[in-house]
Each structure stands twice: as C-alpha cells, then as structure tokens.
Amino acid sequence: MAAAQIPATGTTADTNTTAAGTGTGTTDAAGRHGAPRGSSHGTARKVLWTLQILIALFLVVASALPKLVGEQNAVETFELIGWGQWFRYVTGVVELAGGIGLLIPRLAGAAATGLIGLMAGAALTQILVIEPAWALLPVAFGAVLALVARDRREQTRALVRSLSLSRSRRR
C-alpha cells in the first residue's frame, strides 16, 4: 500500500477500503474515499476481506462463545492447560472482541495485530500442552492476520494518532 500525495487536496492517500468495504478505491488520511484502483489490488482486498470475515466468524461462533458459555470441551481444555477457568473467560472475551474488531474497517488492523499475539499463544499451547498438529490452525490464522495488519497499517496509525490526540487534549 503505497501512500500517494493528492495534489488538489494536499492529503495523503492509501489504498484502504471504500465505504462498502470492497477495497476498490483509495482512502485519504481523513477517511474520504476516492477513485477505483487497479483490479488486481481490488481482488486481493476482496480475498483478504473474505478471509477476515471467515476468521471473525470462527473466533466469535466456534471459539469465543463455547468458552464463554462453559461448553464442556472448552472447560476440559482449560483444565488441561492448568491456568484455571478464569483464563477461559479472558480468552473468550479477547476472541470475541478481536472477531468483532476484524469486521469494523477502522479497527481491523488493530484487532488483527492483537489477535496475532493470541494466535502465537494458542500455537504454543497446542505444541506444548494439547496436540502439536493442531498448532497449524492458529499459525495459519496468524499469517492471515499479519496480512490484514499490514494491509490496514495506515488505518491503525490513524487510530493511534486520534487516540493520542484525544488523550493529550484531556490533560
């Protein structure tokens, strides 16, 4: 995603999603959407969005909810890990928040970045405690999340800047 200077406005643009989330346009630093870009970039963005949505659905439906409602397999897994059931709830909340964040364009990069850490922990837990072969799933998710984080890095920077500005204004 190369940033480009827009001569008429003097703002910096990068290739983020359009209002519809299709990724076929440009988004400037203020979040305004511009003209369509090349079709190969649009196709890549659509594929990435599809993977993002699938991971988000998996995290929310198949991973977080069983942990949060106390499904027997989740309870047994966290007993095996040995950190107690409080860790099951923390993990479920992080998965739920991250899955929802992946679906919100402005938060997707930050959510993906946080979820990479969760996936690293999940892979290590699979390797060291549960079943090493199952470590491939969180590793694969982590790779996709790294692509999302990279693709959304300008939006994440803008989010961090806006949070920093609002924090400094409160002082």
Ordered by start, the domain boundaries in the chain are: 44-166
Compute the mean pLDDT over every residue in the chain, rounded to the nearest whole number.
83
Rounded Cα distance, 19 and 27, in Å: 9
pLDDT by residue (tens digit) across 52-109? 999 999 999 999 999 999 999 999 999 999 999 999 999 999 999 999 999 999 999 9
Q: Which of 101, 99, 104 is nearest to 17 (CA)?
A: 104
Return the axis-axis angle of helices 136-151 and 153-170, rounded to nearest 10°.
70
Rounded Cα distance, 140 and 138, in Å: 5
State percent of the chain over pLDDT 90. 71
51: part of which helix (H) or strand (E)?
Answer: helix 39-57
